[in-house]
Amino acid sequence: MTKPSSIAPVRPHLAQPPEQSPPTLVTRPAAISPLVLVFQGIGKHLAHWLTPEATDPTLEWTDQCSPKALETAARINAQGLDIIRRFEKFLPDTELTIREAEQAVLRQVTVPLSSNQFSALVSFTHSLGEANLRRSTLLRHLNAGRYRAAANEFDRWVYVGSHRLSALIARRVAEKGLFLKG
């Protein structure tokens, strides 16, 4: 067995050092995605949720978020956001999921809502998902105009399997209280 005098690379073009390209000059900032804003500091971006008129046309939208949410005046209020913060970890994708919950409430509810009622339903939907909202008795009562009966349905959503969870009880009490403020 003879030893080769030198080993040639299988792909010679990969053995060459890459050519250095000149740095690209950026003359204007590119549009910032909502996730980047969240990673830069969620506190700076929370003001968006607290003002109904807040729209930022420079934001890019992903498949998960549609511009329809910006066209609506309804936004979760400070009390609704506080409920979510108290009972969940505020993760980087929470902002997008709150927006999705807002859209779900807008799609499913056919009657007028106050800011507090809307915010309570967004917190409820953020916790349980649109599918559970859609098939809930709470939504049936609400869309029939029976606001008090709808509020009483919050008390039923405190179970995981057959177990009542104290954290869910506390969250539903807070959501129901906000909903009843009208």
Residue 174 pLDDT greater than 80, yes or no: yes
Q: What does the alpha-carbon distance between residue 167 and residue 157 come to, in Å, rounded to a whole number?
A: 11
pLDDT of residue 118: 93
Higher pLDDT, 160 or 32: 160
pLDDT of residue 62: 34
pLDDT of residue 112: 94
Higher pLDDT, 74 or 117: 117
* Number of domains into which the chain is organized: 1
In a domain, 7, yes or no: no
In a domain, 169, yes or no: yes
In a domain, 16, yes or no: no
Q: Which domain holds residue 150?
A: 31-53+64-180
In a domain, 80, yes or no: yes
In a domain, 59, yes or no: no
176's CB contacts (< 8 A; 6+ apart) are: 120, 151, 152, 154, 155
In a domain, 11, yes or no: no
Most confident residue range from 15-29, 79-93, 95-109? 95-109
CATH number at residue 143: 1.10.530.40
Asked if residue 87 lies in contact with residue 171, where contact means CB atoms within 8 angstroms, the answer is yes
Calculate the alpha carbon distances from 155 to 22, 63, 118, 124, 178 in Å.
63, 34, 17, 11, 13
Rounded to two decimals, the pTM is 0.57
Residue 147 pLDDT greater than 80, yes or no: yes
Q: What type of residue is 105?
A: V
pLDDT of residue 29: 34
In a domain, 140, yes or no: yes
**pLDDT tens, residue by residue, 43-68:** 434 444 444 444 444 333 333 333 34
pLDDT above 90 as % of the chain: 41
- Report the SS3 class of residue 181: coil
In a domain, 48, yes or no: yes
H/E segment holding residue 122:
helix 115-128
Higher pLDDT, 103 or 88: 103
Residue 121 pLDDT greater than 80, yes or no: yes
